[in-house]
Structure 1
Amino acid sequence: MKINWKVRFKNPQFVTQLVLSIFVPILAYFGLTAQDLTTWSALGSLIVDALLNPYVLILVVMSVYNALNDPTVRGLGDSRQALKYEKPREDK
């Protein structure tokens, strides 16, 4: 499994997808929205509760897997071509 992390993190769409794939399952499980997290202690408590719940962790892991997976390549990784990129490719 080889992933070009440097290039992926240069892509704002990937970063957004990764952050959402972590927080959306947690918020959904606990029946919250982002507007409910109005203090740092509420956010910290939510993260601790999520880490202590194996079901939520499985949801997050599966969501992150879906964010990392490239359906155009067999397995979990980037194509040989994508591994050579220095920045995200722009198709126009």
Structure 2
Amino acid sequence: MNLKVRFKNPVFIAQIILAVLTPVLAYAGLTAQDLTTWSALGDLLMSAISNPYVLSLVVVSVWNALNDPTTKGLKDSGQALTYRDPK
């Protein structure tokens, strides 16, 4: 997987952040507007880490963000592996 190139793409970074935050916020019954301090975000993430159900939701969301459905398994195509910058 060409993660070095993927992390150069701001859309991918946002997708990973949302893949983590969305299930955590949904389980807690919160919206992004409810997180008004960094300590509130930290507390929310720490409570999510201690909850196996929420962790499994986050893993599935991150898997969906990483997985390329046009290739077999969890890998990029041969062409995508040759990229040095996002196309």
Q: Fold conserved (TM > 0.5)?
A: yes
Partner of 2:28: 30
Partner of 1:72: 70
Amino acid of the structure 2 residue aligned with 1:64: V
TM-score by length of 2: 0.96
**Displacement after TM superposition at 1:81 (Å):** 0.8
What is the RMSD computed on CA atoms of the aligned residues? 0.7
2-structure distance, mates of 1:50, 1:72: 31
Poorly superposed stretches of 4+, deviation over 4 Å: none
- Specify the SS of the correspondent of 1:82: helix
Amino acid of the structure 2 residue aligned with 1:19: I
Structure 2, unmatched stretches of 5+, are: none
Structure 1, unmatched stretches of 5+, are: none
2-structure distance, mates of 1:40, 1:54: 23
Percent identity, please: 66
Amino acid of the structure 1 residue aligned with 2:23: P
Partner of 2:11: 13
Partner of 2:44: 46
- Count matched residues: 87
TM-score by length of 1: 0.91
Partner of 1:57: 55
1:41-69, Cα deviation, whole Å (9 max, x unpaired): 21111011000000000000000000000
Amino acid of the structure 2 residue aligned with 1:88: P
**Displacement after TM superposition at 1:40 (Å):** 2.0
